[in-house]
Amino acid sequence: MSFVVLSAIIAANSLFSTYINCRQYQKLGEKMPETAIKIYTQETWSRSVQYSKEKLIFHTLSEIVDSCKDILHLLYLEPWHLFFARRFTNPAVPFVFSYLITNQIFKIPFSAFSDFVIERRYGFNKKTLKVFVTDIFIMFLLTLCIGWPFLFTSFHIISKFSNFEIFLGGFIVVFQLFMMWIYPVVIAPLYNKFTPLEDQSLKKNVEELAAKVGFKVGKIEVMDGSKRSGHSNAYFVGFGRTKKIVFYNTILEQLNESETIAVLAHELGHWHYSHIIQLLIVGWAETFGYIFAFKMFVAEKSSQTIAISLLKFIFAASSVSVPLMLLTHSINRMFEKQADRFAVDQGYGNELKAALLKLHTENMAMPVVDWLYSAVGYSHPHVFERLEFIDQAMKKKE
């Protein structure tokens, strides 16, 4: 595929992204809707709108610059590969690895501006310069320790087997499961400190809810999310003995006990309906689809051609990223509604509504969204949609 065609694909994706961001920016300029009047004061609405606008402008500019960077990558792809071919017997791994590292380095100034200018201006960024630099060091270390072996094994499979797609797909599936197992045990503690939940009343309620729905808890921990940000979250992670429930310390400060349990009930709804497993299967199907498409994309079966073709394929495959994203997001939204209904069935409808409102306003999430921007960029329904759905679920339960 030629440089012109691939550049056109990159430019088209950038233009489409800019278009939907402009739609969202225009949406943010509208008057406060009636659904928001009971939630926001004029001051909090204006502040949330301004925060959302600043992030949107910065995100749009970042995407445009990133697209220009990708086109430059394409322009110098051949001489860049030749540089590694002259220094390595098998240049595929260092060539692709250098692309990953270059991308990470490129994003550093954008991350710094986002954290230390925009997020700090609105009171969310808690990172010190030391934490920021340490995070970068850890990121590069993990890329080296995990990314290099992954690339080496992948290229070895491609070179060794004529019908490599099944073997490569199987390796990626096993690798992903391994990462899911190792993340809470090894990787997450590199970034954050995890301590046992000390609030005995909350711990008791967590254990009672988990027992009620049949969820076997390994650990209940609090993560020092405030080390980096004022944003909040709760989740469960891992499987088997490594499975644990994690609360950001910020969410425990923002929500009362019953609201926290309601959020947990929602998360356990994802477990109850096997949403994670279903999303994994969807992801694996996409992975195998990409691998089969890549095999057709490869012109010759040599390490040099494969390495160059891989990066070209990544850029070409971005042409189908939006349809796939729409599909994935529609599935995610359906799952979010199921999880909300599960929380309602456990008797936490009102508490979940209160929690969602607090989290939405405290985190200054987008106060209003354009339908196209939401469809492409949001894996969750907007808070107003969720509140309406929860009300309907509560009425049906009655």
Residue 81 has pLDDT above 90, yes or no: no
Of 149, 257, 155, the residue nearest 201 (C-alpha): 257
Measured CA angle at 320 (ends 6, 139), to 5 deg = 80
Q: For position 381, what pLDDT does the model report?
A: 94
Q: For position 219, what pLDDT does the model report?
A: 87
- pLDDT level of residue 119 (50, 70, 90 thresholds): very high
Q: For position 239, what pLDDT does the model report?
A: 67
Catalytic, 340? Answer yes
**137-183: pLDDT as tens digits:** 999 999 999 999 999 999 999 988 888 999 999 999 999 999 988 98
User: What is the spatial distance between Cα 190 and Cα 203, in angstroms, rounded to a whole number?
Assistant: 25
Q: For position 38, what pLDDT does the model report?
A: 83
**22-79: pLDDT as tens digits:** 999 999 999 998 888 888 999 999 999 999 999 999 999 999 999 999 999 998 888 8
**288-306: pLDDT as tens digits:** 999 999 988 875 545 457 8
Give me the residues paired with residue 121 across strands: none
**344-371: pLDDT as tens digits:** 999 999 999 999 999 999 999 999 999 9
CB proximity list for 67: less than 8 A, separation 6 or greater = 10, 11, 13, 14
Q: For position 80, what pLDDT does the model report?
A: 85
Q: For position 271, what pLDDT does the model report?
A: 93
Q: Are 97 and 148 in contact (CB under 8 A)?
A: yes
Count, residues in the chain: 398
Mean pLDDT, rounded, for 112-128: 94
Q: For position 398, what pLDDT does the model report?
A: 72
Domains and their CATH numbers in the chain: 195-254 (3.30.2010.10)
User: What is the spatial distance between Cα 163 and Cα 385, in angstroms, rounded to a whole number?
Assistant: 47
81 known ligand binder: no
User: Between 261 and 319, where is the model more confident?
Assistant: 261
Mean pLDDT lowest among 1-5, 272-276, 330-334: 1-5
Residue 185 has pLDDT above 70, yes or no: yes
User: What is the spatial distance between Cα 379 and Cα 156, in angstroms, rounded to a whole number?
Assistant: 35
Q: For position 34, what pLDDT does the model report?
A: 86
- Single out the catalytic residue among 267, 300, 362, 388: 267
Residue 225 has pLDDT above 60, yes or no: yes
User: What is the spatial distance between Cα 85 and Cα 206, in angstroms, rounded to a whole number?
Assistant: 57
Q: For position 98, what pLDDT does the model report?
A: 92
Q: For position 356, what pLDDT does the model report?
A: 95
Residue 280 has pLDDT above 70, yes or no: yes
Of 8, 12, 7, 19, the residue nearest 376 (C-alpha): 19
Residue 198 has pLDDT above 90, yes or no: yes
Strand order in the sheet with 194-196: 194-196, 219-223, 244-248, 234-237
Of 96, 107, 92, 46, the residue nearest 73 (C-alpha): 96
Q: For position 241, what pLDDT does the model report?
A: 56
Q: For position 287, what pLDDT does the model report?
A: 94
Residues above pLDDT 90, as percent of the chain: 73
- Single out the catalytic residue among 70, 119, 340, 370: 340
Catalytic, 78? Answer no
DSSP state at residue 229: B
Mean pLDDT, rounded, for 264-271: 95
Q: What is the pTM of this model?
A: 0.90
DSSP string, 117-170: IIIHHTT-B---HHHHHHHHHHHHHHIIIIIHHHHHHHHHHHHH-TTHHHHHHH
231 known ligand binder: no
Q: Are 78 and 308 in contact (CB under 8 A)?
A: yes
Mean pLDDT, all residues of the chain: 91
Q: For position 234, what pLDDT does the model report?
A: 86
Residue 1 has pLDDT above 80, yes or no: no
Q: For position 240, what pLDDT does the model report?
A: 58
Residue 15 has pLDDT above 90, yes or no: yes
Q: Provide the strand spans (E) within the chain.
A: 194-196, 219-223, 234-237, 244-248
DSSP state at residue 278: H
Q: For position 84, what pLDDT does the model report?
A: 85
Mean pLDDT, rounded, for 190-204: 94
